[in-house]
Chains A and B, each alone.
Chain A
Amino acid sequence: MIEAVQKETDIYLSNFAQLERELADEEPAWLRRVRKAAILRYFELGFPTRKQEEWKYTEVRPIARIPFKPAQYELDGLTADKLNQLTFGNLQCPRLVFVNGHYSAELSSLEGLPDPVEVHSLAQVLKEDPDSIEPYLTRYADYENHPFIALNTAFIQDGAFVYIPKGQVLKEPIHLLYFSTAPEEAAVAYPRNLIVLEGNNQAVILESYVGLGERKYFTNLVTEIVAGENAIADHYKLQQESREAFHIATLQVHQDRSSSVRTFNVTLGGALTRNEVNVVLDGEGADCALDGLYLISGRQHVDNHTRLEHAKPHCDSREIYKGILDEKATAVFHGRIVVQPGAQKTDSKQTNNNLLLSDEALINTKPQLEIYANDVKCTHGATIGQLDQDALFYLCSRGIDKATARSLLIYAFASEVVNRIKVESVRVELDKYLFSWLPKGHLVKEAV
């Protein structure tokens, strides 16, 4: 065993030992146990290699090579005003701000939340009332089989805890904003979010991960959403990390009977991104929409792995992931749909469309159906294409310049999935970003 230890694991082991010393006896025994089990599991699994089917097209050695230290809270001149400038920064909604993975009371504002709704930093809950989250925390995302979930679990310290009791209806987002100031020394943060909808209720959750400039850092996050009976959850995640950052994320969704969850995954930043979205439809009549958009260029790499498990009958799922790749960007889409025995009348549709703007961009797309029931409707399709030259010429022949015509077509491609965003304030903000990203975007804005 000891011989098998890879060098890169050493730093995480010593980081872990230090964390344990720091926490001493301040944490609940159950969490300490899970932590230990998780670090052990990580130690056994090690960093994934491309020999593993699930990691065939994504090389994580660049992460393993850097001895990341735990990120520290440091404002580095950050103010609420600066945060307001960011995409989704000016939404008028309750906002939890985390700096380098740590909750910032001074930058957060929880105004406007109805009393029974609980929104706290995880660190605070772990300190003051840890037993209230024991039934949920670490129960959904499976650290046994995933080294990065194991790492995140071993290092759980902070993040958001959101609890929506029965009957509460929240139509505007609760914004979880993670900002990396990324100091000189390469650092890793382990955000851990737990969102529980008790049932018969509704909430909108918006997560964003932002880092400026070209700093190197590592975000390893896990979000768990538990949607109780008849709950409606809209979840958006925006990844806008620095162009040098590593971002490895798991979203684990557990749905009870007749619940409805929509999740939308937007990837714009980062050098290397892996998004895993795992949804378990674990009650009859539940439905989910699983959408994503990746918009990348340079040498960015984005890997979206989704797993949709239909565990009970009469559930619907719709999945659309769209990618726009320029320059030497590379992407992976791997969408798996599993229909368990007995999950009859499953209705599932998955689509992945990619638009390659350069000859050097590369996408690997792989849908995968595993169906163990016989009365189901499952379809999937993937496309890879370039801008339609006929459409470009058509637009130009009417007097529209090439740059605008290109941007119009790119926007049109993206809008099919962006228009699925139900919460208007979120859609408008994302559109705004697209218009600023696209050359001649202001003209596109007028023409769509």
Chain B
Amino acid sequence: MLEIKDLHVKAGDKEILHGINLKVKAGEVHSIMGPNGSGKSTLAQVLAGRESYEVTAGQITYEGKDLLQIAPEDRARLGIFMAFQYPVEIPGVSNTYFLKAALNAIRKERGEEEVDALDFLNLVKEKMELLKIDEKLISRPVNEGFSGGEKKRNEIFQLAVLEPKLAILDETDSGLDIDALKVVAHGVNSLRSKDRAFIVVTHYQRILNYIIPDYVHVLYDGRVVKSGGKQLAIELEKKGYSWLGEETVSAQLVN
């Protein structure tokens, strides 16, 4: 489904990602872990099409297409969804109506009919229950005045409504208390299917107790320094990230 090859990314004058390789197949759940500033969000944003990052080398192929040539809105329509680490507040734009416009844009791309108001309402209701999200929040302007946790939950609510093929969750777990985390994880798990892939970006192993990944990759200073199964996450939780630095340095010396 997704293949990233030797991806180099710059923001301003600074190179942040120094050659990332990653392959994600439909049905898989990959976790990307790494310390602050290692480039996790940069990777997520580049996948979603953020133009303030400059891809200086490498390729991203999504379902056989050159993803880097595709505008953000078209990526969304092709089934890519990123849950933001810091969801944006948009006063004056209603959550529900904006989501309906988004859903219809995506459905149009898929050759499906637009949802009518009633079907949409039912869909929203169903997903609201799934994520135990308050109806009042949904009818408010996008993220305006939401608490940190509410914003994160709203991201997953949008994910559930839009039903993407590739979902990238950028630190959806941070800022959630344990109950909220369980709800969100339950929401994500219920969306897992053989056609859908997830990239779960996180700092902590905790969320991976609930969303069990197939693969774990460790991002450190803009490089994937280690990949493995779910045990890797547990190892990281115990040892922290600092030992990885030494390991990379020595690996580079050997090379």
Residues of A within 8 A of B (CB): 388-391, 393-402, 404-405, 408-409, 411-413, 415-416, 443, 446-448
With both beta carbons as reference points, the residue of chain A lying nearest to B88 in the complex is identified as: A394
Selected from A389, A393, A400, A415, the residue in CB contact (under 8 A) with B105 is A400
CB distance from B193 to the nearest CB of A (A): 20
Stretch at the interface among B60-68, B70-78, B215-223: B70-78
Selected from B90, B91, B94, the residue in CB contact (under 8 A) with A395 is B90
B49:A396 contact, CB within 8 angstroms: yes
B82:A397 contact, CB within 8 angstroms: yes
**Given A412-B92, A415-B92, A448-B92, also A397-B97 (CB < 8 A):** no
CB-CB under 8 A from A405, the residues of chain B are 73
CB distance from A398 to the nearest CB of B (A): 4
CB-CB under 8 A from A396, the residues of chain B are 49, 71-73, 76
A399:B88 contact, CB within 8 angstroms: no
**Given A391-B90, A412-B90, A447-B94, also A402-B73 (CB < 8 A):** yes
Q: How far is the CA of A388 from the CA of B49 in the complex (A)?
A: 17
**How many inter-chain residue pairs (CB < 8 Å) link A and B?**
92
Q: How far is the CA of A388 from the CA of B72 in the complex (A)?
A: 16
With both beta carbons as reference points, the residue of chain B lying nearest to A404 in the complex is identified as: B101
Most chain B CB atoms below 10 A, which of A393, A399, A416, A447: A399
With both beta carbons as reference points, the residue of chain A lying nearest to B82 in the complex is identified as: A397
With both beta carbons as reference points, the residue of chain A lying nearest to B94 in the complex is identified as: A448
Q: How far is the CA of A391 from the CA of B102 in the complex (A)?
A: 14
Most chain A CB atoms below 10 A, which of B72, B100, B102: B72
B48 at the interface (CB under 8 A from A): yes
Selected from B49, B89, B93, the residue in CB contact (under 8 A) with A397 is B49
What are the 10 tightest A-B residue pairs by CB atom distance, in nearest-first order? A412-B92, A399-B76, A398-B102, A399-B105, A396-B72, A394-B88, A447-B97, A447-B101, A399-B102, A396-B73
CB-CB under 8 A from B87, the residues of chain A are 394
With both beta carbons as reference points, the residue of chain B lying nearest to A443 in the complex is identified as: B101
Q: A393-B49, A393-B50, A412-B93 are in contact. List 12 more A-B contacts (CB 8 A).
A: A388-B88, A390-B88, A394-B84, A394-B87, A396-B71, A396-B76, A397-B75, A402-B71, A412-B91, A412-B92, A447-B98, A448-B94
Q: How far is the CA of A412 from the CA of B141 in the complex (A)?
A: 10
Q: Interface code B184-220, partner A: CB below 8 Å = 1, 0 otherwise?
A: 0000000000000000000000000000000000000
CB-CB under 8 A from A401, the residues of chain B are 73, 105
CB-CB under 8 A from A389, the residues of chain B are 52
B158 at the interface (CB under 8 A from A): yes
Q: How far is the CA of A75 from the CA of B77 in the complex (A)?
A: 53
B99 at the interface (CB under 8 A from A): yes
B48:A397 contact, CB within 8 angstroms: yes
CB distance from B151 to the nearest CB of A (A): 11
Selected from B91, B92, B94, B106, the residue in CB contact (under 8 A) with A399 is B106
A393:B97 contact, CB within 8 angstroms: no
A398:B98 contact, CB within 8 angstroms: yes
CB-CB under 8 A from B91, the residues of chain A are 412, 416
B162 at the interface (CB under 8 A from A): yes
CB distance from B239 to the nearest CB of A (A): 35
10 contacts across the A-B interface (CB closer than 8 A):
A389-B52, A394-B90, A396-B71, A398-B98, A399-B109, A401-B73, A408-B93, A412-B90, A412-B93, A447-B94
CB distance from B22 to the nearest CB of A (A): 20
**Given A393-B72, A408-B93, A448-B94, also A400-B102 (CB < 8 A):** yes
CB-CB under 8 A from A398, the residues of chain B are 76, 81, 98-99, 102, 158, 162
**Given A404-B101, A408-B98, also A397-B92 (CB < 8 A):** no
With both beta carbons as reference points, the residue of chain A lying nearest to B79 in the complex is identified as: A399
CB-CB under 8 A from B102, the residues of chain A are 395, 398-400
Q: How far is the CA of A404 from the CA of B162 in the complex (A)?
A: 18
CB distance from A389 to the nearest CB of B (A): 8
Q: How far is the CA of A400 from the CA of B89 in the complex (A)?
A: 16
CB-CB under 8 A from B106, the residues of chain A are 399
CB-CB under 8 A from A416, the residues of chain B are 91-92
CB-CB under 8 A from A447, the residues of chain B are 93-94, 97-98, 100-101
CB distance from A409 to the nearest CB of B (A): 7
Q: Interface code B127-142, partner A: CB below 8 Å = 1, 0 otherwise?
A: 0000000000000011
CB-CB under 8 A from A397, the residues of chain B are 48-49, 72-73, 75-76, 81-82, 84
CB distance from B134 to the nearest CB of A (A): 21
B84:A399 contact, CB within 8 angstroms: no
B48:A395 contact, CB within 8 angstroms: no
CB distance from A266 to the nearest CB of B (A): 18
CB-CB under 8 A from A399, the residues of chain B are 73, 76-77, 102-103, 105-106, 109, 162
CB-CB under 8 A from A390, the residues of chain B are 88
CB-CB under 8 A from A443, the residues of chain B are 101
CB-CB under 8 A from B142, the residues of chain A are 394
CB-CB under 8 A from B97, the residues of chain A are 446-448
**Given A393-B72, A412-B93, A447-B94, also A400-B88 (CB < 8 A):** no
B93:A409 contact, CB within 8 angstroms: yes
With both beta carbons as reference points, the residue of chain B lying nearest to A415 in the complex is identified as: B92
With both beta carbons as reference points, the residue of chain A lying nearest to B101 in the complex is identified as: A447
B101:A446 contact, CB within 8 angstroms: yes
Q: How far is the CA of A393 from the CA of B71 in the complex (A)?
A: 11
**Given A396-B49, A397-B82, also A446-B73 (CB < 8 A):** no
Selected from A391, A393, A400, the residue in CB contact (under 8 A) with B101 is A400
Q: How far is the CA of A412 from the CA of B143 in the complex (A)?
A: 14
Q: Interface code B144-162, partner A: CB below 8 Å = 1, 0 otherwise?
A: 0000000000000010001
With both beta carbons as reference points, the residue of chain A lying nearest to B141 in the complex is identified as: A412
CB-CB under 8 A from B90, the residues of chain A are 388, 391, 394-395, 409, 412
With both beta carbons as reference points, the residue of chain A lying nearest to B49 in the complex is identified as: A397
CB distance from A275 to the nearest CB of B (A): 25
Q: How far is the CA of A398 from the CA of B93 in the complex (A)?
A: 14
With both beta carbons as reference points, the residue of chain B lying nearest to A411 in the complex is identified as: B92
B88:A391 contact, CB within 8 angstroms: yes
Q: How far is the CA of A247 from the CA of B196 in the complex (A)?
A: 60
Q: How far is the CA of A405 from the CA of B88 in the complex (A)?
A: 14
